[in-house]
Amino acid sequence: MTSNISGPIGLKWDSKNYSCSYDSLLVILYDIWKENPDEWTENFESINEIYMKNLASGFKHVYEGSKSLENIRNDLRQDLNSISSKKFPMGKNNASVAELAFELLKSKDENAISQIFCNHCDYTGIEYSDHLEYVFDIEKHRVSSTEKWGKKLKGSTSAKCNNCLNKLSHVLQYKESPKLVILEYPFSNIETSHKIKIKGDNQMNILSLRGIVYHGENHFSSRIISLEGKIWYHDGIETGKKSIEDGYLFSIESKALKTCQEKNLVLAVYA
């Protein structure tokens, strides 16, 4: 690895109030947002108008140079701590990066369509509004890769078709294809695909791997991945406000993405 000041900006670890879970995720989200601030502000706000809207506003201050990324992290942390000091503690206690992701991207909108149908005859049930989150624990889906996870939003039900008595299938899809999803799958054999496909209202959207968060020895670090596939390593203690070049995605085997600096993959960010 080689240091390069032109890489994505980093977050300096807070040794008083351990911040690595925030540092590891926010550096990835900021790198995504800064590629197209207007578009990504709109995308963030479409997820929720609480944390993601505020995060986009904070990122704008960072982009314009009026605030540091540390300021934005600390403001977010105070907000989350006031809601749940157990989940998002201060002091020398780490928050779970998965809990952080779930809370940040939590949505209550009826953003999905649910429908049952039969694969054996022409029966199709009525579509109705439903809900999908943007952060998923995908281990329970029993998939071999993150790319195959998107297909698992369709599955069988216990109900039987009134026409032919075969089992009905159930499809749940976004009304509009999401621009950002986070997949959690620690300590699994699931392959980290470079791209995933997610369907929304008859449109297939392709999302690229943009970052991975790792955990080991009570500390989180991350890899930030550009749209072109360039990889940067960030650790709030080791690299601070900078990131370090770490190769290219096309030249790294999937197995090598599972670990980084003796830490294990926790979650992957796709956008």
Average the pLDDT over 70-75 and give the result: 98
Residue 6, domain member (yes or no): no
- Both 262 and 212 in one domain: the answer is yes
Percent of the chain with pLDDT over 90: 84
Neighbours of 55 (CB within 10 A): 24
Q: Are 94 and 220 in contact (CB under 8 A)?
A: yes
Please indicate, yes or no, whether the overall pTM of this predicted structure exceeds 0.85: yes
Residue 3 has a pLDDT of 47
- Start-to-end Cα distance in the chain: 25
Q: Under 8 Å CB-to-CB from 163, ≥6 apart: which residues? A: 118, 121, 122, 123
Average the pLDDT over 79-96 and give the result: 95
- Both 45 and 168 in one domain: the answer is no
Domain assignment of residue 82, given as a range: 19-109+175-270
- Both 101 and 228 in one domain: the answer is yes
227 has a pLDDT exceeding 50: yes
- Both 40 and 129 in one domain: the answer is no
Residue 98, domain member (yes or no): yes
Neighbours of 137 (CB within 10 A): 14
- Both 189 and 145 in one domain: the answer is no
Residue 11, domain member (yes or no): no
Residue 2, domain member (yes or no): no
- Both 33 and 100 in one domain: the answer is yes
Q: Are 69 and 26 in contact (CB under 8 A)?
A: yes
Tokens read off for 5: 């000041």
